[in-house]
Amino acid sequence: MVQSGPSAPGPSVDGPAVALSSGSGTLSAMTSAGNEIRLFSTKAYDRAAFEQANLAHGHELTYLEPRLDVTTVGLAAGARVVCVFVNDVVSAPVLEALHAGGTRAVALRCAGFNNVDLEAAARLGITVVRVPAYSPNAVAEHTLALILGLNRHIHRAYNRVRDGNFSLDGLVGFDLAGKTAAVVGTGRIGTIVARLLWHLRCEVLAVDQYPDDHLVELGVEYTSLEDALGRADVITLNCPLTEETHHLVDAAAIESMKQGVMLVNTGRGPLIDTEAVVDGLKTGRIGSLALDVYEEEARLFFEDRSAEVIEDDVFARLLTFPNVLITAHQAFLTKEALSAIANTTLANVGDLFDGRACANEVVAGD
């Protein structure tokens, strides 16, 4: 545990010192236990960004390396606010344990909130805040990097050249210009992805119940998911994970795609049924696949597992395909995004500490 901030006292396990109003979105009564934020799943780059941002906030920050789940939730005891990332488990049992330990707010330092049981949080009076947008450019640019890198086999070419193999066999790509690209979800990130693809002179299809006027003006065609999947040469998933979007790409969806389609997922792992995608790669229906997220990534990503045996057979199978490019949930990882994440998170918590309503509160039904 690494602590910083004005006094950095050890955690108390006495539970809440003050009863807090539930559902108000503020922690106005949260004064006597100090302004500590306990951050789970932190890496050196998180700590650097938070230390820099905290110069303007002066909160008391305690950095923890473990991921939050039912086995580690005891580490939060005594902290009024815990700060978590994408693979921390904020389920009902975890929230109940957090509540028993005195936690009254969960600050997500990410946009997605699919890992939080919002109904349980509301029932317990635990406020949940997030960082709705930190750098949509970071994720959109990484999406484009995956599309370009995968298409032109940069991952394979890099290794070949370093190994003194200058053969071009197997490295044939295609011109993106003139191809049809489908962007599923045109929110903050997807609109930028769509614009980047449009600038590459793709015909861009979009799937979203809320069309973006600027994209429509550019000539982007909004259409149904079925139509987009059937027409696209490149499909990129940029929508959130919800009950509706879980396994949005399943065996039937893959069957409806063009032969040799490129599929890219920088949204959330469960947007695709990975086993169905492995089958699609085997038949050639999916011509290439780029992932920044994976259904079972919580057991793999963000750690050095190079000396371990990978027990996940589906993931191990994915790694065997030459036409699969995987990054380990790094689309967000730019200096600008890390700084924005830290600043917004600390401002969110500052609102709660000061009794102000936080504009970035997430409530059940969002």
Q: Which residues bind ligand NAI (CB under 6 A)?
A: 111-112, 133, 136, 139, 184-190, 207-210, 238-241, 244-245, 266-268, 292-293, 329, 331-332
Nearer to ligand NAI, 126 or 184 (CB): 184
Nearer to ligand NAI, 99 or 268 (CB): 268
User: Which active-site residues does the annotation give?
Assistant: 268, 297, 329
What are the start-end ranges of the E strands in the chain? 2-4, 36-39, 60-63, 81-84, 105-108, 127-129, 180-184, 203-207, 221-222, 234-237, 261-265, 286-291, 324-326
Nearer to ligand NAI, 32 or 209 (CB): 209
Least distance between ligand NAI and beta carbon 215 (Å): 11
Least distance between ligand NAI and beta carbon 1 (Å): 26
- Residue at token pair 């028993």: 100
Terminal alpha carbon distance of the chain = 33
Q: Give the other-Cβ count within 10 Å of 87's Cβ.
A: 20
Least distance between ligand NAI and beta carbon 66 (Å): 21
Token pair listed for 16: 């809440």
Short-list 73, 127, 129, CA closest to 97: 73
Integer Cα distance of 238 and 264 in angstroms: 9
Q: For residue 170, count CB atoms less than 10 angstroms from its CB and return exposed for 0-12, middle for 13-18, buried for 19 or more.
A: exposed
Nearer to ligand NAI, 156 or 188 (CB): 188
Least distance between ligand NAI and beta carbon 267 (Å): 5
Residue whose Cβ sits closest to ligand NAI: 187
